[in-house]
Amino acid sequence: MNGMDRLTATIRPTAPFDFELTAGYHTYFQSRYGTDSMEDGVYRRLLDLGDKLVLASVRSAGTTAEPELVLDLQGPELSTEDVDLAKERVSWLLGVDQDLASFYELAQADEAMAGLVERFYGLHLPHTATVFEALVLAVLGQQISTSVARIIRTLLIETFGPSAKFDGETYYAFPRPEAIWASSPAELHTMKLTRRKSEYVHGLAGSALDKAMGLESLGSLTDQEIVAKLTGLRGVGLWTAQWVLIRAVGRPDALPLGDLALRRVVSRLFMDGADVTDAQVEEIARRWSPYRTYATVYLFSALRTGAG
């Protein structure tokens, strides 16, 4: 325990903010989702600050209307810069700065969406730590059931992810591209990925390491430019690119067309259970623009809690 620090900081989200819902959505309303956990009202994630690994434990000290989060940090020799960086990272992970007011106003025009807003009031959109993370998670999830994806994801994280031990428990951060690039498609294939996905994931690690690609600095680009750049990568189609816009870039008006689960929930809530095409989903989603991201988050939330 040499030089191990333990510090506390406060985060004030933009109201309304429901901590349980937002962290729960992040972990698919399970106690663990890859690198993230939500147990007994505490959200935990190991932060990879580059030169050190810091365990962030977050709990609510406020209400949905007057939200306040207590961030507990554990790590080696934490400077004030480390604390500021950790606060910034956790704020991004939980999407605390989002203002939902305009989306909520828009949702009132739509009975089903208004119902979801009421039910999931204060749910913010959580983000991944990096674009690379969102890309890899999306590719892993392509075409297979969430339960299979979950097993593969855990395997990948526990094989390649940096880890640290706190209070006798081992925590993992998401694998750095370096670690996956140093592996090989052949090795990845032994980890239950298809041969093709093994190549995709390995290639994505290479792209993430390519500074000229600028994968982690998409902020100045338009949605269209980002989609064009991402779909240029092998293994990344429109669905994955939209997924990244939502999960990693935090763009408010993305729509993951092609998503089977999205089709299912739209069918159930808007088409009386009749089969819907992507074109119909796009047509229905028009009413939620420019907040289609939030609309899909609330739809998926219904699905993940069994309400869809």
Residues that bind DNA (CB under 7 A): 28, 138, 141-148, 151, 189, 192-196, 231, 233-241, 243, 256, 258-262, 264, 300, 303-304
Shortest distance in whole angstroms from residue 43 CB to DNA: 18
Shortest distance in whole angstroms from residue 8 CB to DNA: 32
53-56 CB contacts, 8 Å cutoff, 24+ apart:
53/162, 53/163, 53/164, 53/171, 53/173, 54/78, 54/82, 54/86, 55/164, 55/166, 55/171, 56/86, 56/89, 56/90
- Looking at the Cβ atoms of 74 and 293, the one nearer to DNA is 293
Shortest distance in whole angstroms from residue 270 CB to DNA: 17
- Looking at the Cβ atoms of 176 and 247, the one nearer to DNA is 247
CA–CA dist 153, 160 (Å, integer): 11
- Looking at the Cβ atoms of 57 and 240, the one nearer to DNA is 240
**Residue 88, helix vs strand vs coil:** helix
- Looking at the Cβ atoms of 89 and 304, the one nearer to DNA is 304
Question: Is there a contact between 184 and 213 (Cβ–Cβ < 8 Å)?
Answer: no
Q: How far is CA 90 from CA 23, 28, 55, 245, 297, in A?
A: 11, 18, 11, 19, 19
Shortest distance in whole angstroms from residue 253 CB to DNA: 16
The residue assigned the tokens 């690609």 is 213
- Looking at the Cβ atoms of 22 and 74, the one nearer to DNA is 22
Shortest distance in whole angstroms from residue 211 CB to DNA: 22
